[in-house]
Amino acid sequence: MLSPLRTLELLLIAALFSCASFAATPTSGSVTPTTGSKTAWTSSAFGATNGESTCVEGTTCDSFTLTITGAASSYNNKYVNISIAWSLSTNDYDLYIHKGSLTGPVVASSTGGVPQTGEGVSLSPTSLGVGVYVVHVVASTTVPGDSPKGTAVVATAPITPPPPNVTPPTYRNYQSPTGIGDNSGEPSIGDNWNTGRVMTSAVLDTLRVSFNTAVSPATATWVVKNSPLTSITSLDPILFTDRKTGRTFVSQLAGTTSLSEFTDDDGTTYTPSQGAGIASGVDHQTIGGGPFRVCNAQQKSQNPTYCATLTARGPLTSYANAVYYASQDIGLAQMALSQDGGLTYEAAHPMYTLAQCGGLHGHIRVAGDGTVYVPNKNCGGTQGLVSSKDNGLTFTVYKVTGSTPGSSDPSVGIGSKGRVYFGYTDANNHPWIATSDDGGQSWHNNQDLATRLGIKNAVFPEVVAGDNDRATFFFLGTKSAGPGTGDDTTTIFDGVWHAYFASTYNGGQNWVVVDATPSDPVQLGVVCTNGTTCPSGTRNLLDFNDVTIDWHGRVLAAYTDGCITAKCIADGNNSTAQHTKAQNDGTTKASIIREATGLSLFQKYDSTPLKP
């Protein structure tokens, strides 16, 4: 985050140059298949932006058109390495490569932060094809006088940064005290960055958790803070905290409507809400929020009709952020916008039809530029990402290339500059995660994390991101093969489930995977995801968990603990014992895992590491 003085400085400088338009010098170049073939340019971009989608072409970003000539087969075992470099480590530029034109898909990107002085990517023309590529340089936080120098060179080895030399993070488990949170399947969690308090909700209970960091390790105080409307009847509960404003929404599905209230004081008082848009769905509700999408000056001049739509769908009260409610019907899913902080909602708009997506959707995430995302586990035979760029009015469905449908709802985390991290379980119940830098049009670094620790089954993927290059993927996993999420009738599943966290500090190129509960199993036997057909004691964890971060970038995850007695835990730690539903407690105990040590998801705090 920029300091107020730094922000003012950049705004003043940008104002001085606002009437001028600059471009890369030269504006274009080409390379041939010959090793060492090279072209170079100088970028003119400067200023400050919140990612590529908000930059102003010719001012805070500029383009260099690169033509890769020859036949694709001539580049076998060769790469086109594209890089930019500058002098001052206090400046920060980002690099995006579009195929075909500036509006084409992003096929590669590099968006590290200070204090580095360069960004670089590698293209494989053999797989991506030859032809035109647009190299887009975006000024993230910069001042004039330190123009990046760009090069594109044909080489026999790609730019491959080594895995980050980081100590794996550690985690501490906090279980709710006896009598609190004893019926807590599919929990939600939110963190109020203004107060430091954590809110979590499941079934009928809304709980406030305060961590005392004056002692080490920190201790937790759990307090019941139920909402009057949402603590009576439960169908599908959900909680969402707008971490910037501190407002927490608590909701219970009620057919095509929702019983909902919000609190601005962490559960001390509640305000009733309309809860949902008219004609919403009857299942799988979700609430999310974040900035309204707005146009910059360049966009207003180029597309006034679109920008007028955004203005009409902007805030109507002093509450600055948009709030969205979405839910699922038998054949489609709908979303409704609130322009008054969640007090009222418009009529719901369809996100997709049954012909587009047939799986259950995950939870709403809103990017810093106001783009709204909802993941889905089956859109035409792959995982899918539903996106809206007009504040929830219309939607586009993107397929996650190379993925297969799974049994759990997928999840997305959005980096500070718009990078999408898509976490899911595939048809084999392995935990996978992919990244996109163009809102889902194209996907990179799609990785199976099961091989890291010998995981054979995973369930409940949840993702959160901080800086653009940092994210954490939370899921439950077991090293036992077989039908770990089935109905447990044909073959009784024998397995021990633990809570796992996978973290990246270089944009999804490498992931550090940690078992956060190595001696405290979450569940024994099957974690059934087949709904009402699940046998007794196997459906206790219900449909999902949740993950968030605090103001420091510390990861916190809410989960349901199905194995809490001394006998169940001992059986889980005994490799020679049985680990089936017969040995499982089948409990639904509210629990939170809190990152204790290691890097947070905000690089600016690396010099002040986390404390337990």
Would 9 be classed as within a structural domain? Answer: no
Between CA 260 and CA 336 the distance in angstroms is: 14
Torsion of CA 315, 318, 321, 322, to 10 degrees: -40
Question: pLDDT tens for residues 141-183?
Answer: 888 889 999 999 999 988 866 666 789 999 999 999 999 999 9
Shared-domain flag, residues 540 and 409: yes
End of a domain among 110, 131, 156? Answer: 156
Hunting for tokens 């509210």 — which residue is that? 590
* Kind of pairing between the strands at 79-85 and 118-123: antiparallel
Do 367 and 255 sit in the same domain of this protein? yes
Q: What is the pLDDT of residue 164?
A: 67
**Residue 361 maps to a domain:** yes
Whether residues 36 and 126 share a domain: the answer is yes
Q: Flag whether 214 is in a domain.
A: yes
Q: In this predicted structure, what is the pLDDT of residue 13?
A: 43
Q: How many domains does the chain have?
A: 2
Residue 346 has pLDDT above 80, yes or no: yes
Is the pLDDT at 22 greater than 50? The verdict is: yes
19 assigned to some structural domain:
no
Nearest CA to 444 out of 179, 115, 110 is that of 110
Does the bond joining 217 to the residue before it have cis omega, within 30 degrees of 0? yes
Same domain for 186 and 150?
Answer: no
Lowest mean pLDDT across 296-300, 431-435, 455-459:
296-300
Residues 312 and 206 in one domain: yes
CA gap 463, 413 in Å, rounded: 5
Q: Is the pLDDT of residue 412 over 60?
A: yes
- Please tell me whether residues 580 and 462 are part of one structural domain: yes
Q: Tell me, yes or no, whether 598 and 549 share the same domain.
A: yes
CB of 469 closer than 8 Å to CB of 110: no
Are residue 80 and residue 114 in the same domain, yes or no? yes
506 and 394 in one domain? yes
Of 106, 123, 156, the last residue of a domain is: 156
User: In this predicted model, which residue has the larger pLDDT, 536 or 189?
Assistant: 189
Lowest mean pLDDT among 2-11, 219-228, 525-534, 588-597: 2-11
Looking up tokens 């349901």, which residue turns up? 560
CATH number at residue 88: 2.60.120.380
Quick check: is 384 in a domain?
A: yes
Q: 385 and 407: one domain? A: yes
Instruction: Evaluate whether residue 239 is within a structural domain.
Output: yes
Q: Same domain for 142 and 234?
A: no
Could you list the residue range(s) of the whole structural domain that residue 92 is in?
28-156
Beta strands (DSSP E) in 321-363 are: 321-328, 332-338, 349-353
Q: What is the CATH number of the domain that holds 393?
A: 2.130.10.10
CB 204 within 8 A of CB 230: yes
Is residue 374 in some structural domain? Answer: yes
Question: Looking at the predicted structure, is the pLDDT value of residue 20 above 90?
Answer: no
Instruction: Write down which residue in 133, 156, 179 finishes a domain.
Output: 156
5 within a domain of the structure (yes/no)? no
The answer to whether residues 55 and 179 belong to one domain is no
501-533 burial, b for 16+ CB within 10 Å, e for fewer? bbbbbbbbbbbbbbbbbeebbbbbbbbbbbeee
